[in-house]
Amino acid sequence: MKKILVLLGTPHKNGNTVKMLDTFLKLLSAEPEQVTVFDTYKENLHPCMACSHCAHHEECAIHDSSDRLDQLIRECDLLVVASPVYNLSFPSPLKAAIDRFQRYFEARFSLGLRPPIAKPREAVLLACAGSPSADGIEIMEKQLRLCFSVMNTQLVGTAAWLSTDKGDDGWEKAKSALERLSLAISA
Ligand SMILES: Cc1cc2nc3c(=O)[nH]c(=O)nc-3n(C[C@H](O)[C@H](O)[C@H](O)COP(=O)(O)O)c2cc1C
């Protein structure tokens, strides 16, 4: 059975991001036991300290729940990044998790591991924004493509829900994007 890891970046348990996520998982017909949610607001990962430990050892020097996240990433077949746009980027708890992916850059370029993560996986971005602009979502895609390039992880696509400040106005468009994205995932 395909293992799905969700990297969740919202503080709102019943908000727009979670509505997108629930819809997407339903479209994939995902069973609850297939899905692990890593809630970055609960896990509260320490920021990367740029200590360079990972340039010399295949690990992060900070042993918090990023160790569990590393294990979950290595095991999953599909990584779902689900997040609102905050100031044209990810909310800080999710950005902290992404910065901690620096260990994979160092594993690749300082330790010479090719690839730093043995198993390949697909990834998708589900993102919502209060404004009609997709600028933040494009930046988030760029950030993910950069770190995924050393994580044996391919960003297959993005579903965006724009103009959430206007309530459900943009939802139908977002739902269509989620449907298209669910079809783009390998069976
Ligand atoms: C701190 C903060 C920063 C935000 N920055 C942006 C932004 O740069 N662009 C944008 O379109 N919306 C921005 N928003 C709006 C959220 O992206 C939007 O309300 C989103 O639908 C919230 O999703 P949620 O219900 O899952 O938390 C911001 C909201 C907050 C709280």
CA distances from 181 to 77, 106, 151, 185 (A): 16, 31, 21, 7
Average pLDDT, the chain: 97
- Judge whether residue 159 has pLDDT over 70: yes
Tell me the CA–centroid distance for residue 137 and ligand 1, in Å: 11
Q: Where are the domains of the chain?
A: 4-8+21-184
The mean pLDDT value for 135-155 works out to 98
**Residue 163 CB less than 6 A away from ligand 1:** no
Which residue lies with its CA nearest to atom 6 of ligand 1? 86
Q: Which atom of ligand 1 is nearest to the CA of 133?
A: 11
The model carries a pTM of 0.98
What pLDDT is recorded for position 136?
Answer: 98
Q: What percent of the chain has pLDDT over 70?
A: 99
In this prediction, residue 116 carries a pLDDT of: 96
Query: Given pLDDT bands bounded at 50, 70 and 90, which one contains residue 60?
Result: very high
Predicted confidence at residue 57, as pLDDT, reads 98
The CATH number, out of the four listed (3.40.50.360, 1.10.3720.10, 3.90.1150.10, 3.50.30.50), of the domain defined by the range 4-8+21-184: 3.40.50.360
* Torsion over CA: 86, 51, 39, 147 (sign): positive
Atom of ligand 1 nearest to the CA of 17: 26
Q: What is the mean pLDDT of residues 18-30?
A: 97
Taking the centre of ligand 1 as the mean of its atom positions, its distance from the CA of residue 163, in whole angstroms, is: 10
Provide the token pair at 137. 């979502």
Does the pLDDT at position 52 exceed 90? yes
pLDDT single digits (tens) 79-138: 999 999 999 999 999 999 999 999 999 999 999 999 999 999 999 999 999 999 999 999
Pocket flag, ligand 1, residue 128 (CB < 6 Å): yes
| pLDDT band at 1; cut points 50, 70, 90 | confident
How confident is the model at residue 186, as a pLDDT?
78
- pLDDT over 70 (residue 187): no
Q: Ligand 1: does its nearest atom lie under 6 Å from the Cβ of 88?
A: yes
Determine which residue's CA is closest to atom 2 belonging to ligand 1: 86
Please give the distance, rounded to the nearest whole angstrom, from the Cα atom of residue 85 to the centre of ligand 1: 5
Atom of ligand 1 nearest to the CA of 89: 8
